[in-house]
Structure 1
Amino acid sequence: MSAKTLDASKLQSFGNAAAGHDGVLSDESGSVVVKPCTQAEVAFYESVAASHPDLAAYLPTFMGQLTLSPKETADTAVESGTIETAEGKVERLHGKKLATELHIVLENITSGFKKPNVLDLKLGAQLWDEQAKPDKRARLDAVSAETTSGSLGFRIAGMRAYKGTPVPDVPAHLNDFVQADKDGGFWVFNKMYGRKFSAEDVNDGFVSYIFPGAKSQAELDRAREVLAFFLGEVKDIIQVLEKKETRMYSASILLVYEGHVDEYAKTKQTLRSAHPEDQGEDEDNLPKLAAVKMIDFAHATWQPGQGPDENALQGMRSTAKILKELLDQTEREVDAADESR
């Protein structure tokens, strides 16, 4: 599929975003996302697709750009960007919608999952690029200093965790941070959730993501497999970025896995029985177990001669360390459960 083959009149609001800006759309099949963007983001995707295949493997597939009129985006807009907290305040789940007609068309990373659990990690201690005005720099520096962005080089920017149906009520201490999606069975964690963590307790956020339900044997086995996959992918991305001279301010890494335990088991069986020679063009239609991609390149540029992007890499390395610690802990729990049977 390409941007040219999309029917703009059939675009609809995209509901699986864990963070980012309002105004993200999807096609009827749900296989692509169409999001407001800057020309710089389009240029970055084009340059990666043309000259950096090793990095392109870890980005959503770029399918082109679209110009959508305000009417076209208004026809598909919904009020999905806010949440009323326990104190009656309205917090934004996502950033404000960009005031632009330019949209980028990308692979939908959550396509192929029945119930995608999504974790969005915003990278970098410095969150602004050189074009940012002084007041924006000061505001973002304050956010960084008060969160794990400053201490670890990343923070949890958003999260969706499948809890099942009927979805359990959100406990009182999380009312300011979580909204229950009763139809989908998810808890949706807003951007303020990740800001409450310090370097000492941010692991708790990862645990809530990896173990959204009771630690049954099936959930433990799934967690071990998913964490091992995530860790391998993050390490691979680190190796690629260490060879690139980029600056990716406010880019994110997106972790996705199948949140429905039974569906996860079914997908494993489906993938085991799928023969490579039979897949061909149908490979993209196979269900998925997990995925890791880098996203959000509105402030990404190439900087020849400046060396690798240590700002983003710090966050990637911190993420890898946490994933390794959780994997080791999960393996110990799996071994203990095996011994007790």
Structure 2
Amino acid sequence: MPKKPFDPSSLQVFGNAAAGHDGVLSDDTGAVVVKPCTQAEITFYESVAADHPDLVPHLPTFMGQLSLSGDKSATEASESDFIQTATGALERLHGKKLETELHIVLENITHGFKRPNVLDLKLGAQLWDEHSKPEKRARLDEVSAATTSGSLGFRIAGMRTWKGDGAPEVEGDLKQYIEKIDADGYCVYNKMYGRKFSAQDVIEGFEAYVLPQTKSLAELERAREILAFFLGEVKDIQEVFEKKESRMYGASILLVYEGDIDEYAKTKKILRSAEPAEDEDEDLPQLAVVKMIDFAHTTWQPGQGPDENAIRGMRSSAKILKDLLDKTERDLADAEDA
């Protein structure tokens, strides 16, 4: 969380998203993201803070809302402990016309990583809510039926991995699923990448995310640690939502870990030697994070029971993470014996 007041006039385009809509912004510290939202998403985050403390650790920290005026001449901040009301031109936003003035301000989950690797898992077999038009329902039902959304209750919606300097060129069929390899060495996969998998081979998408091609001893050890952490966090999220009466459409689980193997090792040493911080807001590097995101179509539904549509995807994700963890442990044992 930022220690200094947030200045809305410093907003710039956010570049670490694995999936989602255009128009996501960040401030110059990189500690927050500001994204267009619905009032329903604001209401959901406010209700979590007020009535669902067990969910708070599994969501990005909610820091309030911003109204960006249509002519981008001013901004207002409200409902926040640290955001200050401010005015300032926002012409740096590449001239993009925002579809809504309402924006939510959240903790940037990728802040604290040098090279964050990001995987977005969209939950649910039903991807539309009751307000969707018939043509949208039909289109999303087709997507669900043709992908792991229908068979497993989730699909890979986006992926962004750091390949480093001198990474090999992408070849073969995979090229059609690469949106770009940017100047910083990140490989950004398009939305069709996750749609190519079936229930039988989707584990390959997780392998491409967690396991580099070289699979050195250090990388296998990192993969084992990361997968064990991811598995525990996803199970914790599942257990919490099994006690809730909600309906989520389009929500995701976001997985992040440090993609630079040398930075990962360095961060482990720092965290092992860190003393309990007197200041809870002390910035420390991170190894991995798992959070639930995207609640534009989420509501509480008292009396309706848990949201099995989303929970099924959590269970499937946890099973695949467990299977890959077991495989990685076997590979690591073989490598250590070699």
Report the TM-score, using the length of structure 1 for normalisation.
0.90
Are 2:337 and 1:339 aligned?
A: yes
Q: Secondary structure of 1:286's match?
A: coil
User: In angstroms, what is the RMSD of aligned CA positions?
Assistant: 1.9
Q: Distance in 1 between matches of 2:252 and 2:305?
A: 20
Are 2:287 and 1:289 aligned?
A: yes
Q: Distance in 2 between matches of 1:16 and 1:226?
A: 19
Q: Distance in 2 between matches of 1:56 and 1:213?
A: 36
Q: Distance in 2 between matches of 1:252 and 1:122?
A: 4
2:337 partner letter: E
Q: Distance in 2 between matches of 1:44 and 1:15?
A: 25
Higher helix share: 1
Are 2:46 and 1:41 aligned?
A: no
Paired residues of 2:24 and 2:33 also in contact (CA < 8 A): yes
Within 5 A, what are the aligned runs for 1:104-253? 104-253=104-253
Q: Distance in 2 between matches of 1:63 and 1:151?
A: 36
Paired residues of 1:123 and 1:251 also in contact (CA < 8 A): yes
Residue 310 of structure 1 is matched in structure 2 by 308
User: Would you identify which runs of 4 or more consecutive aligned residues in structure 1 move more than 4 Å?
Assistant: none
Task: Report the Cα offset of residue 283 of structure 1.
Answer: 4.9
Paired residues of 1:8 and 1:68 also in contact (CA < 8 A): no
Paired residues of 2:258 and 2:286 also in contact (CA < 8 A): yes
Task: Report the Cα offset of residue 103 of structure 1.
Answer: 0.1
2:200 partner letter: E
Task: Report the Cα offset of residue 74 of structure 1.
Answer: 6.7
1:40 partner letter: A
Task: Report the Cα offset of residue 179 of structure 1.
Answer: 3.3
Please, which of 87, 92, 97 is the counterpart of residue 76 of structure 1?
92
Q: Distance in 2 between matches of 1:319 and 1:78?
A: 37
Q: Which moved more, 1:39-48 or 1:210-219?
A: 210-219
Q: Distance in 2 between matches of 1:60 and 1:336?
A: 38
Q: Distance in 2 between matches of 1:30 and 1:316?
A: 29
Residue 274 of structure 2 is matched in structure 1 by 274
Task: Report the Cα offset of residue 303 of structure 1.
Answer: 0.1
Q: Which runs of 5+ in 1 are unaligned?
A: 81-96
Q: 1:38-77 CA distances to partner (integer Å, 9 max, x unpaired)?
A: 0000000000011111111100000000001244397233
| Pair 1:289–1:146, CA change in 2 (3 A) | same
Residue 93 of structure 1 is matched in structure 2 by none
Residue 22 of structure 1 is matched in structure 2 by 22
Q: 1:141-199 CA distances to partner (integer Å, 9 max, x unpaired)?
A: 01100110000000000001111113432213222211343321111011111011111
2:147 partner letter: T
Q: Distance in 2 between matches of 1:308 and 1:105?
A: 28
Are 2:58 and 1:58 aligned?
A: yes
Q: Secondary structure of 1:53's match?
A: coil
Paired residues of 2:70 and 2:98 also in contact (CA < 8 A): no
Q: 1:239-262 CA distances to partner (integer Å, 9 max, x unpaired)?
A: 100000000111000000000000
Paired residues of 1:21 and 1:98 also in contact (CA < 8 A): no
Task: Report the Cα offset of residue 281 of structure 1.
Answer: 2.1
Paired residues of 2:11 and 2:90 also in contact (CA < 8 A): no
Report the TM-score, using the length of structure 2 for normalisation.
0.91
Q: Distance in 1 between matches of 2:212 and 2:281?
A: 29
Are 2:297 and 1:299 aligned?
A: yes
Paired residues of 1:37 and 1:98 also in contact (CA < 8 A): no
Q: 1:13-41 CA distances to partner (integer Å, 9 max, x unpaired)?
A: 00000001100000100000000000000
Q: Distance in 1 between matches of 2:194 and 2:132?
A: 23
Q: Distance in 2 between matches of 1:284 and 1:14?
A: 23
Q: Distance in 2 between matches of 1:284 and 1:196?
A: 42
| Pair 1:228–1:22, CA change in 2 (3 A) | same
Within 5 A, what are the aligned runs for 1:4-19? 5-19=5-19
Q: Distance in 2 between matches of 1:53 and 1:113?
A: 26
Q: Distance in 1 between matches of 2:328 and 2:307?
A: 31
Q: Secondary structure of 1:122's match?
A: strand
Task: Report the Cα offset of residue 79 of structure 1.
Answer: 10
Q: Distance in 2 between matches of 1:35 and 1:164?
A: 28
| Pair 1:238–1:176, CA change in 2 (3 A) | same
Paired residues of 2:217 and 2:336 also in contact (CA < 8 A): no
Q: Distance in 2 between matches of 1:243 and 1:112?
A: 31
Q: Secondary structure of 2:271's match?
A: helix
Percent identity between matched residues is 69
Q: Distance in 1 between matches of 2:112 and 2:330?
A: 31
Count of aligned positions? 321
Q: Distance in 2 between matches of 1:306 and 1:332?
A: 43
1:311 partner letter: N
Q: Distance in 1 between matches of 2:94 and 2:115?
A: 21
